[in-house]
Amino acid sequence: MIYLDNSATTKPDEQVLNSFQQAASQYFGNPSSIHGLGKDAERLLRKAREQAADILGVNSLEIIFTSGGTEGNNMAIKGIALEHQSRGKHIITSVVEHPSVLEACTALEEIGFRVTYLPVDRDGRVNLTDLKEAISEETILVSIMHVNNEIGTVQPIEEIARILKDYPKAFFHVDHVQGFGKAPLDLSNLGVDLCTISGHKIHGLKGTGLLYARRGVRLFSLSHGGGQENNLRSGTENVPGIVAFVKAMRIMEEARLKKLPHLQQLQNWLIDRLETIDQLVVNTPSETKVPHIVHFSAPGLKPEVVIHALEEFQIYISTKSACSSKSADESAVLAACGKTEEVTKSGLRVSMSYQTTWEEVQYFFEKIKHVITNLSQVMR
């Protein structure tokens, strides 16, 4: 099997599964219980929190464990909006965000917030001038993803943070789900107030993740109850899931330090080769991109057909991102980049991991070339 759909989800690491299994069986106490079993679970949870904070270079009080990217994004956006609406009711985001950001914003529009959706250029990048024009004294939140989940574009987070320094009323949220482990963010210095990370995108388990909320940033809780996670997310903590997630963070960071150039080489090689196939258009930008995503279109071909054809060779890639499906078969991200309809309707995404090998990428290229050549003969 050649799994190249790592931006949809990743295969959990063996060590991560071991940690989950051990934590679930040995530390099953409720961290809030006052007896010894509770104490041990609490301690494990605390260690996990400290390690997550360490990896991100922040304080452990700033970590809120969540169920993943969608929850983190909702918690940040609605949490800021509801808590700080008296300061202003304007939110800025971009048209290429993940649905959990876009839909959260839409929901807020229905209850009286105003949302500006920044456009993007052909590479999927927001324009800083657009941001400067959109921002006002009414703006309480700017939410921009670090890495686009479909084509891999890296947004100018540092520059945006610098612009926002002049608007102390506006909080800055970064959806870092596709970025963690591939494109690091310096949370302690950048001026980012909130940052979402997901566990299952980094070889952790589904249902885990975290939201970084800088100290002093108040959020309206979306889940009231026993007061866990700093009163922001009540509910008994998923200790084994959290432990597995933090383990995955650690393994991911180690892999990044060792293998980032390897991934970069694979990507460069693959993009170069794909560009030699006449029927294909590469959509991943040539600069400021993450090294694990290669997105391209096969104009005139139905992407599902390509996917199924590759499946026969046990190769797994995806069409557009698994979770965005605005219109039936068009990619909203590619449309926002101003691509032609033929391109937006025929997008294919390869997303690699640090485990991806040269052999796999070469085999994939051989097969995609074969598949595309065959299919275009049939279709024409």
Length of the chain as a residue count: 380
The rounded distance, in Å, linking the Cα atoms of 270 and 357 is: 12
Binding to other proteins in span 289-348, by CB under 8 A: none
Q: Measured from the CB of residue 187, what is the shortest distance to other proteins in angstroms?
A: 16
Q: Measured from the CB of residue 34, what is the shortest distance to other proteins in angstroms?
A: 7
Judged by CB under 8 A, which of 28, 39, 224, 225 binds other proteins? Answer: 39
Judged by CB under 8 A, which of 34, 216, 286, 328 binds other proteins? Answer: 34
Binding part of the chain for other proteins, among 16-24, 98-106, 145-153, 298-306 by CB under 8 A, reads 16-24
Distances (CA, A) of 300 to 167, 273, 312: 46, 20, 21
The rounded distance, in Å, linking the Cα atoms of 350 and 152 is: 10
Q: Measured from the CB of residue 327, what is the shortest distance to other proteins in angstroms?
A: 43
Q: Measured from the CB of residue 246, what is the shortest distance to other proteins in angstroms?
A: 5
Binding to other proteins in span 233-272, by CB under 8 A: 243, 246-247, 250
- Closest to other proteins by CB, 42 vs 330, is 42
Per-position x/- string for 51-90, each x denoting binding to other proteins as judged by CB under 8 A, each - no binding: x-------xxx-----------------------------
Residues annotated as catalytic (active site), given as ranges = 323
Q: Measured from the CB of residue 46, what is the shortest distance to other proteins in angstroms?
A: 9
If one asks whether residue 25 binds other proteins (CB under 8 A), the answer comes out as no
As to burial, measured by CB atoms within 10 angstroms (0-12 exposed, 13-18 middle, 19+ buried), residue 327 is: exposed
Distance of CA 90 to the CA centre of its chain: 24
The rounded distance, in Å, linking the Cα atoms of 285 and 123 is: 5
Binding part of the chain for other proteins, among 39-47, 190-198, 265-273, 339-347 by CB under 8 A, reads 39-47
Q: Measured from the CB of residue 50, what is the shortest distance to other proteins in angstroms?
A: 9
- Closest to other proteins by CB, 54 vs 103, is 54
Q: Measured from the CB of residue 190, what is the shortest distance to other proteins in angstroms?
A: 15
If one asks whether residue 48 binds other proteins (CB under 8 A), the answer comes out as yes
Site size toward other proteins (CB under 8 A) is 19
- Closest to other proteins by CB, 5 vs 42, is 42
- Closest to other proteins by CB, 43 vs 370, is 43
- Closest to other proteins by CB, 161 vs 335, is 161
- Closest to other proteins by CB, 215 vs 380, is 215
Q: CB–CB of 175/98 below 8 Å?
A: yes
If one asks whether residue 47 binds other proteins (CB under 8 A), the answer comes out as yes
CA angle 116, 120, 121 (to 5 degrees): 155
Binding part of the chain for other proteins, among 37-45, 103-111, 285-293, 329-337 by CB under 8 A, reads 37-45
Q: Which residues are near other proteins by CB under 8 A?
A: 19, 22-23, 34, 36, 39, 42-44, 47-48, 51, 59-61, 243, 246-247, 250
